[in-house]
Amino acid sequence: MKKTIILSFVSVVLLGLLLAACSISHTHEFGEWVTVKSATCIEEGVEERTCKCGEKETRSIGVQSHNIVKSDKVDPTCTEKGKTEGTYCTICGTIFTESADIPELGHNYEFVQDTATCTAEGFKEYKCSVCGDVKQEKSDKKAHSYQSTVVKAAGCTTDGVKRYTCTVCNDSYDETVKATGHKFKSATCTEPKKCSVCGLTEGNALGHDYKSSITKQATCTSDGVETFKCSRCNDSYTKKIPGSHDFVDGVCTKCGNYDDYLGCAIVAVKSYFQANLKNPNSLQLHSIKYYVGKNDKSYFYLVVEYSAMNGFGGYNRDTAYIYIHNKGDGTFGYSPYSTSNSATDSYSSKAVTYSDISRFTDYYYS
């Protein structure tokens, strides 16, 4: 309790002293502001002024702005690093953009020459296209540049020689070229198995393998053609197939035509009747028939029937009969006609000509 009383007392005395001071206050008259601490770009400064009474007044000086500049970019070279562009304050040194290293480029060597040859070692020379730096590397001997020529050509059965010569140093060596062996071509219809290089042959030609075919049928009046063609080489030739009538007893078994003598007979009969008929224009060949003799088969007779013969020459017939004898040697004989078809074998034969047959009418009408 006693301590509290003492403290209270001291407080009252101090308060009283303060009140006394105020009672003697004046208007301060400060001098110029004096920099106590300069402002920088990162820290405020302080300035103060002082009154005659010693009273000081202080205030802060605002932060200065940085003076930012760029640092130079440094290009790298073949062997030295470069730097990228950076930024920093010239006043406080603060770095805003860090400048980074750019690695050295390294040389860009380009090949210049190789001094090695096929007979001696040398070196390869390279030069940097950027800085001109030259470097050399040892190089081994080069291979020879051989070119070959045929000294002796290989044959089917004989070896040849090929020579290789270096175009640079003339070094050379020979190489044997093995005999090629025969290059046989198979035998053909006309040639035996034969080497296409030296002409050596073996064995015989095959001969043609002809197959025949009728390329044009023969007729009674025109020749035909039989063609023979080789199944291997297509070689071909033709053979005439003679065209002819195939007369049996004066009649062609193929076309039904009469042989020449019978033809003559028919023409003769017709021309006769045309000359003697009252109305020859009405004369028309009606039919021709053949009959073989009853006893002698070498006889046959020709029956020529004409229409419009009625009343001709006092006869009332329309049929003429001509007897023809096949002599068996390619010729015929004829016999006088008959007016009936009751033929006999008693007729003598003659060699037939056109004029002979023309005469048969004499017999008929005599």
Q: Residue 182 Cβ, how far from Zn ion at the closest point, in Å?
A: 4
Contact status: 154 vs Zn ion (CB under 5 A): no
Residue 355's contacts (CB-CB under 8 Å, 6 or more residues apart) are none
Q: How far apart are CA 252 and CA 260, in angstroms?
A: 11
Q: Residue 7 Cβ, how far from Zn ion at the closest point, in Å?
A: 33
Stretch touching Zn ion by CB under 5 A, among 90-98, 280-288, 305-313, 322-330: 90-98
Q: How far apart are CA 32 and CA 91, in angstroms?
A: 27
Q: Which of 255, 308, 259, 304 is nearest to 280 (CA)?
A: 308
Q: Which two tokens stand for residue 154?
A: 């290989």
Contact status: 179 vs Zn ion (CB under 5 A): no
User: From residue 166, how far is each of 150, 152, 172, 174, 323 by CA, in Å?
Assistant: 15, 19, 6, 12, 109
Which CB sits closer to Zn ion, 241 or 308? 241
Question: 3-state SS of the chain: helix, strand, coil percent to 5?
Answer: 15, 40, 45
Stretch touching Zn ion by CB under 5 A, among 142-150, 272-280, 302-310, 358-366: 142-150
Which CB sits closer to Zn ion, 200 or 308? 200
Which CB sits closer to Zn ion, 93 or 313? 93
Q: Residue 66 Cβ, how far from Zn ion at the closest point, in Å?
A: 4
User: From residue 189, how far is each of 47, 229, 231, 306 by CA, in Å?
Assistant: 133, 12, 10, 64
Residues 60-79 that bind Zn ion (CB under 5 A): 66, 78
User: From residue 299, how far is each of 52, 140, 289, 362 by CA, in Å?
Assistant: 195, 119, 14, 21
Out of 63, 120, 134, 197, name the contact with Zn ion by CB under 5 A.
Answer: 197
Q: Residue 171 Cβ, how far from Zn ion at the closest point, in Å?
A: 5
Q: Residue 285 Cβ, how far from Zn ion at the closest point, in Å?
A: 19
Which CB sits closer to Zn ion, 191 or 362? 191
Contact status: 39 vs Zn ion (CB under 5 A): no
Contact status: 116 vs Zn ion (CB under 5 A): no
| Residue with tokens 């003339």, as numbered in its chain | 170
Q: Which residues bind Zn ion (CB under 5 A)?
A: 28, 41, 51, 53, 55, 66, 78, 89, 91-92, 107, 118, 128, 130-131, 133, 144, 156, 166, 168-169, 171, 182, 189, 195, 197-198, 200, 208, 220, 230, 232-233, 235, 245, 252, 254-255, 257
